Amino acid sequence: MTALLPLFLLIVGFVALILGANWLVNGATSVGVRAKMSPLIIGLTIVAFGTSLPEMIINVFSCIKGSPGLAIGNIIGSNTMNILLILGVSSMVFPIDVSKVSIRRDIPAGFVATFAITLMANDFFRGTSATINWVEGLVLLAMGAGYLWITFKKSTNNQEHLEDSETPKALPLGKTIIQLISGVIGLYIGGELVSRNAQILALSWGMSESTVGLTVVATATSLPELITSVVAALKKNSSIAIGNVLGSNILNIFMVLGVSSLITPLPFDMRMNHQLMILFCANAIMLATVFTGKGRKISRFEGSLLTLGYVAFMLFSLYN
């Protein structure tokens, strides 16, 4: 009986996430069209910020409440899920076209972000304890600001919006604002309900804090990215689908971990180095799928392989 209320709230959270993701895609796309931005840039910025809210909220709440151990695990798990499961499922719905911009800028930025937290978490620079402190947090935030500046500058100078053959139509201004605000609120409420109650259920089953962060919390907070990318794939807007994933991964590391480490030092469980290596491999596999087959696409078959890779990652994390 004690698990009935968390289960009910979990379902409510799922509904809020689904509705919020759909509203956010519509509202953010309309804003981007009005600003003459490409769907890729919309996914990398507006949508990525919105769908990264659950990670941000959970990490901030965890740090304030004295459970910073969840923070790094949450981001590693979320980013791995974004690449393997979200891109995998999205490309199974509709094959994803990968632009030259993503190959030159966004995929390398993901490698750099992952490499940066690997060095920081293992105290390569200080050699004291396995933590990410506020100084390193400021460095992450600065790198995130630099990435966003380059993104917007590239979009303005090269007019990336001309690359897209089909530009979505802008909604009326009032409806755009309502959908955007409703989407962010829905994602916030849904992410909070799902994450909190999934954690309650997991802890009641005897799972450790690091395992909760890598699996349950990471899965819950990545649901907005999953739903948003699948919705975009159903609408055959693959630019938003991959832009959402790549942008969210980069912002998760640079912005979410950066802000979290300003609140309190983030301890790193050295056993999670295995998961960091898996995240590196996931980035490499994603890049490899782009250059195999016809064109710069992630096909349905390659998407199924990515999805199976995420299942293996979850089993490995739970086993450890």
* 134 in Cβ contact with 123 (< 8 Å): no
Q: Tell me, rounded to whole angstroms, the distance of Cα 204 from its chain centroid.
A: 27
Strand duo 297-298 + 96-97: pairing = antiparallel
**DSSP tag of 315:** H
Computed from CA positions of residues 283, 74, 225, 320, in that sequence, does the dihedral angle turn out positive or negative?
Answer: positive
What pLDDT sits at residue 262? 93
What pLDDT sits at residue 208? 67
| pTM, two decimal places | 0.79
Structure tokens at 45: 């910025």
- CA dist., res. 17 & res. 160, Å (int): 30
Where residue 36 falls (left for φ over 0; alpha for ψ -120 to 50; beta otherwise) is left
What pLDDT sits at residue 80? 93
CA-nearest of 44, 118, 124 to 76 is 118
Low-confidence spans in the chain with pLDDT less than 50: 1, 159-165
H or E element at residue 180: helix 173-204
- CA dist 280 → 51, 79, 115, 284, 316 (Å): 22, 10, 8, 6, 16
Residues 6+ apart with CB under 8 A from 138: 258, 262
What pLDDT sits at residue 45? 67
Class of domain 41-166+208-319: mainly alpha
What pLDDT sits at residue 294? 67
What residue ranges do the domains of the chain occupy? 41-166+208-319
Residue 119 neighbours by CB distance under 10 Å: 11
SS3 222: coil
Residue 196 neighbours by CB distance under 10 Å: 18
Residue 74 neighbours by CB distance under 10 Å: 31
